[in-house]
Amino acid sequence: MRAKLIHRNTHVYDLDATLAFYEKALGLSERRRKGPEDGSWLIVFIGNDECDFELELTWNRGYEGIYDNGNGDTHVCVRVDDYDAFHALHEEMGCIVKENPKMGLYFIADPDGCWIEVVRGLDEIPSEALRTK
């Protein structure tokens, strides 16, 4: 038996702002979208060429309730090829919410408050973070 992760869903209030955030922050772009003819909701899948995994963004027209997209404990994680460049970009964007330099990682938040963990490429992980006690 085998299983493959293919996407994670999150609900968004402002689809355009969320799409712009993920494009700028992580280079994720729209792959496809679907929804009814009346436009009452949209599902947009975003990703990149690095892997098949996608984020599924669900937008519901007129929804004003509170979405429970989890908190910092419920997140996705990306491994980046140039940690310092991504960190500088995210600092400029003002979206860093938590940092752990010793472990070579930090978290950013999207416009809806969903956290994304950003980690160094395997060859960039500080040796002290690999040591076990």
Please say if the pLDDT value at position 133 is more than 50: no
120: its two tokens: 């160094």
Specify which residues 57 forms β-bridges with: 10, 44
User: Residue written as tokens 């940092």?
Assistant: 99
Longest dimension (CA), the chain: 58
Query: Count of H helices and E strands in the chain?
Result: 3, 8
CA 54 to mean position of chain CA atoms: 10
* 7-62+69-130 has CATH 1.10.540.10 classification: no
* Domain range annotation of the chain: 7-62+69-130
73-132 pLDDT, tens digit per residue, is 678 999 999 999 999 999 999 999 999 988 889 999 999 999 999 998 855 555 555 555
pTM score, whole prediction: 0.82
CB neighbour class for 23 (10 Å; exposed up to 12, middle 13-18, buried from 19): middle
